[in-house]
Structure 1
Amino acid sequence: MSTARQVVRERRRKRRMMWGTLTLAAASVVVCLVLALLPDGTSGAKQAASTTVAAAGEATADAGQPRPTPSVKVKASSRPSASRSAAAAPKPSRTTVTKKPAPARTTPPANAGSGTASLAGRIRPGTDYQGVATAYEAGVGDGACGFGPSPDMMIGAMNTTDYETARACGAYVHVRAANGRSVTVRITNECPLPCAPGQIDLSQQAFSRLGDLHLGRLAITWNLVSPGSPGTLSVRYKTGSSQYWCGIQVVNHRNPVAALEVRTSGGWRQLGRTSYNYFLSADGTGCGGAIRITDIYGQRLTVNGIAIRPDAVQPTSVQFAQH
C-alpha cells in the first residue's frame, strides 16, 4: 500500500516538474517576445505622448502670445511688399516741392526809369474786379482825394480796401453792369466801411448811366483804364507848405501815381503818401525844388519850376503815356 502511494507521489512530482519546466519555457518565450517587441512599442508610445504634449504646448503658447513666424529669405529679384515700399519711399518736404515759376516782370516803357516795373497796388492793369455799385450825393465832386470841385460828375468813391491809402486817387475805371450798360468814372473819394472790396459808390449822375437810382445796388464788373486825352497834369502844394514843411499833390494825371520824389543835395528822395492824397516832406527837404513823379507802369516825369504856392494848382507841360 505504501509502495503504491509512493508511486503516485512520484508521478505527481514529475508532473509538477514538467509543468513547471513548460511554464518556465513559456514564460521565457513570452519574455523574449516582449523584449523583442518592446523598443518599437515603447518608442511609439513615447512619440505619441510627446506629440500630444507638444500639441498641448503649442495651443497654450498660441493662447498666451503670438506664435513666431519663421524667417523667409527673399531673393534679390523679389518685389518688395507695399508696406516696405511705402516705408522706404521718401516723404515730400518743403524744400523738394517744385515752386511755380514767378510771373514775368512787365517791361517798362521807353520813357520809364531804368529798373522799374509795374508799381500797381490792389488795382492792377488788365484785371477785372467784381463788386457792387451804389450811389451817393457827390455835391461839387470833391472828396477824400482832395482834388477839389470836379469838372464833371462822372466820379466815384472807392471802397477803403481798394482805396489803399489814396493809391486809387485819380484812377479811371470802366464800370459795367449786368444789363450791358457801362460808364467810365474817375476816383475822387473814399467809400468807408461797410463798403466791401470791389464796391464803388458812384455819384448819382454816374449811377443813373447804369440803371434807375431806385434800384439802390447793381452788380458790376470794373477794370482800370487809361483815358485818351486828359490834358497835362498839374501840381499843388498843400495849405501851410513852406521851405520847412510841405505837402505835394499831383492833379489830372492819366494813370494812377505810384511815387513822388524830390531832388535833394544827396539825390532823389521819395516822400510818403497820406490818406488825403498828399506826399509829405516833414522837414522841408526838397520843397520848392524839382519833382519826379512815377506812375504804376514805371513811367517817370520830372517837373521843374514849381514854386511853393500853397493851394494853387500849377499846370505843367507833361503827361503820362496812354496804356
Structure 2
Amino acid sequence: MASPSHRRSPSKRRTGLVPAVAVAAVVLVISLIMALRPDGDPTAGHAATAPVAGSQSTTPQTARSASPKPKPKPKPKAKPKPKPSKASPTAPSAKTTPPSPSARTAPQPVSASAPLAGRIRPEGTYEGVATFYDAGDGNGACLYGPTDDLMTAAMNHTDYETSKACGAYVRVRAANGASVTVRITNECPLPCAPGQLDLSAQAFAKLAIPSAGRIPVTWSLLSPSTSGTISIRYKTGSSPHWCGIQAVGHRNPVARLEVRDGGGWRRLARTEYNYFLSEQGSGCGGAIRITDIYGEALTVDALAIRPDVLQPTRLQFAAH
C-alpha cells in the first residue's frame, strides 16, 4: 500500500491543471465572440465609445480651423410701419378730379376763403385758340338776355368756372396784330380746351376771315370805361320764399353776391346759369351787396321782387 504522501501528490497536480484549462476556455470563448461579430472588426466596439469628460476631441485641430462652423446670422427685425401723422395724412390730396358736366349743373357753394379773382386774373395773359359760332340774339348761358351788341364770346368750360367769367370784358389778339374786345355772355362746353374762346361770328370777323375757322390768339381781362350802371334782376319764379338774383351791366366780373339777413350779410351760392340762389327765401326782397374781383363792394337798397325785370341802380364798379 502506498504511503499517504504518495496519494496527495496526484491531487496537487490536478489542482494546478484546473486554472490553466479555465483560462484556455475563456480565451477560446472570447475568440469565438470576436470572430462572430457582424463587421469582424475587433476595434469596432471602441469607435462608438463616448469620450471621457475632459478629454480632447479626436477631430484634428486643423480640420476645425479650416472649416469653422458658421455662426447663425441674426434674423433682421421687422421695422414697425410708421403710423400716419395727423399733420401729414397719407391720403392723396392734391390731385383733384374735375366734376362731370352733369355734376356741375347743381349750384356750387362759394367758399369764404376763395380768391376773388378765380381763374381769370386781371394781370394774366392767356394763350389759346379762337373759333366762332352763330350767337343769334346774343343771349347765352349767362342769361343776360338779347343784346344789340354782338361783340360777345363764349368762354371755355374750364375758365367759365361756374359762371364766374360771365360779364367779363376781354381783349383778344390774333397773330396778325388784329384785336377785338368782347363780353363773355356764354359758355363753350367740352371739348373746348382751357384758353379757348368761341367768338360770335361778328367778333371773329374782326380778327380773320371766316374760312380760317380756328386761329391762335392771346387774351387778357379788361376793366373798360363805361357810362352804364348796374341793374339787378330776379329770376322767373322768385318770391319771398325762394329767389334767384343776378347783376347785369357790371364793369368788372362779380365775385360774390350777398343779401341782408337779419343783422348781417348772407352770401348766396352761384349757379352755372349766373344766378345767385336763396333757396330758403332768406333776404329775398331785401338789400343786396355785390363785390367785384378787386374787392369793391356795392350795396343796393331793397328792391321789390319783380321776376325777370331789370331794375337799374345808380352804382358801378371803379375802373382798373
> How would you bin the TM-score normalised by the shorter chain?
0.5 to 0.7
The unaligned stretches of length 5 or more in structure 2 are 1-66, 69-86, 88-112
What pairs up with 1:214-253 in 2 under 5 angstroms? Answer: 214-253=211-250
The unaligned stretches of length 5 or more in structure 1 are 1-59, 62-94, 96-115
* d(CA) in 1 for partners of 2:236, 2:209: 40
CA deviation profile, 1:26-70 (whole Å, cap 9, x unmatched)? xxxxxxxxxxxxxxxxxxxxxxxxxxxxxxxxxx99xxxxxxxxx
* d(CA) in 2 for partners of 1:151, 1:303: 27
How many Å apart are 1:150 and its aligned residue? 1.6
Matched, 1:268 2:265: yes
Q: Which of residues 278, 298, 301 in structure 2 aligns to 1:301?
A: 298
How many Å apart are 1:320 and its aligned residue? 0.2
The aligned residue for residue 286 of structure 1 is 283
CA deviation profile, 1:2-28 (whole Å, cap 9, x unmatched)? xxxxxxxxxxxxxxxxxxxxxxxxxxx
Compared with structure 1, are the counterparts of its residues 232 and 182 closer, same or farther at alpha carbon in structure 2 (3 Å cutoff)? same
Compared with structure 1, are the counterparts of its residues 318 and 117 closer, same or farther at alpha carbon in structure 2 (3 Å cutoff)? farther
How many Å apart are 1:158 and its aligned residue? 0.1
Which amino acid is the alignment partner of residue 229 of structure 1?
A: T
Contact 2:288/2:302 (<8 A) preserved? no
* d(CA) in 1 for partners of 2:269, 2:228: 26
SS of corresponding position for 1:130 = strand
How many Å apart are 1:266 and its aligned residue? 3.5
Matched, 1:171 2:168: yes
Compared with structure 1, are the counterparts of its residues 149 and 180 closer, same or farther at alpha carbon in structure 2 (3 Å cutoff)? same
Q: Higher helix share goes to which structure?
A: 1
How many Å apart are 1:306 and its aligned residue? 1.5
* d(CA) in 2 for partners of 1:209, 1:243: 46
CA deviation profile, 1:273-310 (whole Å, cap 9, x unmatched)? 00000000001110000000000000000000321000
Compared with structure 1, are the counterparts of its residues 226 and 117 closer, same or farther at alpha carbon in structure 2 (3 Å cutoff)? farther
How many equivalent residue pairs?
A: 225
Normalising by structure 1, report the TM-score: 0.64
Compared with structure 1, are the counterparts of its residues 118 and 125 closer, same or farther at alpha carbon in structure 2 (3 Å cutoff)? farther
* d(CA) in 1 for partners of 2:305, 2:148: 25
Compared with structure 1, are the counterparts of its residues 230 and 184 closer, same or farther at alpha carbon in structure 2 (3 Å cutoff)? farther
Matched, 1:259 2:243: no
Compared with structure 1, are the counterparts of its residues 228 and 118 closer, same or farther at alpha carbon in structure 2 (3 Å cutoff)? farther
Compared with structure 1, are the counterparts of its residues 117 and 195 closer, same or farther at alpha carbon in structure 2 (3 Å cutoff)? closer
What pairs up with 1:20-99 in 2 under 5 angstroms? Answer: none
Q: Which moved more, 1:158-167 or 1:265-274?
A: 265-274
SS of corresponding position for 2:158 = helix
Contact 1:292/1:301 (<8 A) preserved? yes
How many Å apart are 1:155 and its aligned residue? 0.2
* d(CA) in 1 for partners of 2:295, 2:206: 33
What pairs up with 1:197-212 in 2 under 5 angstroms? Answer: 197-212=194-209
**How big is the alpha-carbon RMSD for the aligned residues of Structure 1 and Structure 2?**
2.6
Normalising by structure 2, report the TM-score: 0.65
Which amino acid is the alignment partner of residue 125 of structure 1?
A: P
Contact 2:133/2:199 (<8 A) preserved? yes
What percentage of residue pairs aligned between the two structures are identical? 68
The aligned residue for residue 40 of structure 1 is none
CA deviation profile, 1:66-107 (whole Å, cap 9, x unmatched)? xxxxxxxxxxxxxxxxxxxxxxxxxxxxx9xxxxxxxxxxxx
